[in-house]
Structure 1
Amino acid sequence: MKMKLPWRLTHRGGLFNTCVRAPLRRWRLRRQLLNKSAYIPNAITVVIPVRNRADHRLRNTLSTLAAQDYPRELIQITVVDYGSAMEARRGTASLCTEYNAKIIELPGKGVWNKPKCANYAIKRCQTEFLMSVDADNIFPTNFISELISSLKREPLSVVYSKMLDLDEDTVPLLMELSERNLSVPYEELEKTAVSRGAGDKHPGTFGTYTLFFNFIRGYDEQYEQWGWEDNDIMERFIRLGLERISIKPKAKFLHQWHPKGEGSKNWQQSATQNRIYYERTSSIMRNQTGWGEG
């Protein structure tokens, strides 16, 4: 009779990976963390990939990141513009100037590719920590400080949290906040938000040591347009030997409403293709050559 392994074991790359390889990798990673001289200590880079997103959503994201209670001089906000139209690119650059964020402009010809967009910044990141976020998130003021505190307590981990969806009815308010350059009332908005799936660890926004991103060569650049690249990198971190933890009790985050698949033609088809690729691919390290070159 064939023994059926628990889902936890098979999903993490099999029994041998879970019981032997992952613990060995954890031991090696812990040793490498002792030598972080290549990175700016205690500092964090927040990577935001965008295309044609110089709107109220990006402004509100930047506004709440700029208002974090973590020391501002230790936060590097990096917006990577991947092939935006000229007007949108200028608008994004203006917002970055306003919020003291760094902007990287890539040609980004062809279809949207979040992994290539984010990886360009990831490969060049010089801070100890790195956080990947979407350009439609809203954060409470303690989000980054809680994320970094959690990583210092449990260094072999990836930090996630719960995402709450804002309804379409909140769009006029969010646009007004942006237009008038007002602070985002996070606590009030959270009261109206609805819980999204994925439990306490939504895969779209997360942070860990920059060393770990580089170890697996960032996002898999085979994923194009929309879907599954976040789940993929999450599973690869797990197979590497890291644990997923959530800061939900202390800090959640909000998602600003927009039409599903906005900006992506045939997004349903691309999501299906990406899901098939995700289910068939289980290696930890990807992008064998030339990753992070845009």
Structure 2
Amino acid sequence: MKTLSSSLIIATYNWPEALDLVLKSVKNQIVLPDEVIIADDGSTDETRIIIDRFKSEISIPVSHVWHEDEGFTKATILNKAIAKSKGEYIIQVDGDCIMHRHFVKDHITYASKNTYLYGSRVNIQKEHLEFLFKAQQITFNPFSKGIKKRTRAIFSPLLSQLYKASHQFSKKFRGCNTSYFKADFIAVNGYNEDFKGWGREDSELALRFFNYGLKSRRLRYRGIVYHIYHHEKSKSRLELNNDIELKTINEKLTWTEHGVDTYLSE
């Protein structure tokens, strides 16, 4: 049986210290993806230096997809990165989310046709950051210091079986911990690049997956990430972004006019 090829996409912007820990957690995976692509929304050279070092420390291909900093354009840089990916299956995290060592394996294990996955996010608290970066901590358990939402840190393949694929849309979906077939991403034309500024670009994609007919499965007790605390990003465009998402809901849209197809022929 052919093994599913996978691309791990890591979205980042100007936080090299956090990205460094995330990349260390890639090296710690018990199953590696076939490639890593860093989707960089305009970071400075400090981030490039971290990525170049990582390339020399790991045996799989690593690509750095970068564009000029024009504000929060995460939807655009993710489209550019995923367009360049070679894997059949996309596993997506943010550059401030340290991965459990089974993370990649869990997403590949539960990959299923006509289904997208989304996993849990354990929050690392602000007070723990000094120790986190000093100790270069990348492993946690439900009893670790400095985390909250501790039940989300429970790793249990047995308990995870309680969660099945569903035709319902879940508001628990987070783009910092999700996976899907690249063909399904292309079928809905990827992220909607009308989203500028923080908010709703991930959930709107999931809504179009849902409208397209995909099932969703929550990876509870597996596929865990640990989210490093940071100050909230500006929500100045949130009302406009809400309107875009409401249009997708009300019109049951599956396709965005400004999406990944722009880059697929490049």
Q: Normalising by structure 2, report the TM-score.
A: 0.80
Most deviating of 269-278 and 91-100: 91-100
Residue pair 2:12, 2:96 contacting (<8 A) in 1 also: no
Which residue in 2 is equivalent to 1:233? Answer: 205
Structure 1 residues 275 and 67 mapped into 2: Cα distance closer, same or farther (>3 Å)?
Answer: same
Which residue in 1 is equivalent to 2:263? Answer: 292
Q: Once the two structures are superposed, what CA deviation does each residue of 1:234-288 show, in whole Å capped at 9, x if it has no partner?
A: 1111111111101213342211111111xxxxx2212222112211234211135
Larger Rg: 1
**Equivalent position to 1:148, from 68, 85, 108:** 108
In the alignment, is residue 250 of structure 1 matched against residue 222 of structure 2?
A: yes
Q: Once the two structures are superposed, what CA deviation does each residue of 1:220-240 show, in whole Å capped at 9, x if it has no partner?
A: 111112111011111111111
Q: How many angstroms does 1:140 deviate by? A: 1.3
In the alignment, is residue 83 of structure 1 matched against residue 42 of structure 2?
A: yes
Q: How many angstroms does 1:200 deviate by? A: 5.7
Equivalent AA in structure 2 for residue 291 of structure 1:
T
Structure 1 residues 158 and 95 mapped into 2: Cα distance closer, same or farther (>3 Å)?
Answer: same
Q: Once the two structures are superposed, what CA deviation does each residue of 1:41-75 show, in whole Å capped at 9, x if it has no partner?
A: 522101112222222x11111111221112x3x43
Equivalent AA in structure 1 for residue 253 of structure 2:
S
Structure 2: gaps spanning 5 or more residues: 153-169
Structure 1 residues 142 and 279 mapped into 2: Cα distance closer, same or farther (>3 Å)?
Answer: same
Residue pair 1:162, 1:199 contacting (<8 A) in 2 also: no
Which residue in 2 is equivalent to 1:69? Answer: 30
- The separation in 2 between residues aligned to 1:223 and 1:97, in whole angstroms, is 35
Which residue in 1 is equivalent to 2:193? Answer: 221
Which residue in 1 is equivalent to 2:8? Answer: 46
* SS of match in other structure, 2:110: helix
Residue pair 1:54, 1:95 contacting (<8 A) in 2 also: no
Aligned residue runs from structure 1 range 71-150, under 5 A: 72=32, 74-99=33-58, 102-150=62-110
Which residue in 1 is equivalent to 2:149? Answer: 195
Structure 1: gaps spanning 5 or more residues: 1-39, 262-266
Residue pair 1:80, 1:104 contacting (<8 A) in 2 also: yes
Which residue in 2 is equivalent to 1:275? Answer: 242
* SS of match in other structure, 2:263: coil
* SS of match in other structure, 1:112: coil
- The separation in 2 between residues aligned to 1:288 and 1:200, in whole angstroms, is 25
Q: Normalising by structure 1, report the TM-score.
A: 0.73
Residue pair 1:217, 1:285 contacting (<8 A) in 2 also: yes
Structure 1 residues 42 and 222 mapped into 2: Cα distance closer, same or farther (>3 Å)?
Answer: same
Query: How well do the aligned residues superpose, as a CA RMSD in angstroms?
Result: 2.7
Which residue in 2 is equivalent to 1:168? Answer: 126
Q: How many angstroms does 1:212 deviate by? A: 0.9
- The separation in 1 between residues aligned to 2:46 and 2:78, in whole angstroms, is 21
Equivalent AA in structure 2 for residue 287 of structure 1:
E
* SS of match in other structure, 2:122: strand
- The separation in 2 between residues aligned to 1:86 and 1:203, in whole angstroms, is 25
Q: How many angstroms does 1:173 deviate by? A: 1.8
Structure 1 residues 225 and 288 mapped into 2: Cα distance closer, same or farther (>3 Å)?
Answer: closer
* SS of match in other structure, 2:8: strand
Equivalent AA in structure 1 for residue 230 of structure 2:
H
* SS of match in other structure, 1:104: strand
Q: How many angstroms does 1:110 deviate by? A: 1.9
* SS of match in other structure, 1:186: coil
Aligned residues: percent identity? Answer: 17
* SS of match in other structure, 1:255: strand
Between structures 1 and 2, the one with greater helix share? 1
Structure 1 residues 189 and 166 mapped into 2: Cα distance closer, same or farther (>3 Å)?
Answer: farther
Q: How many residues align?
A: 241
Which residue in 2 is equivalent to 1:24? Answer: none
Residue pair 1:162, 1:248 contacting (<8 A) in 2 also: yes
Q: How many angstroms does 1:188 deviate by? A: 6.0
Equivalent AA in structure 1 for residue 8 of structure 2:
V
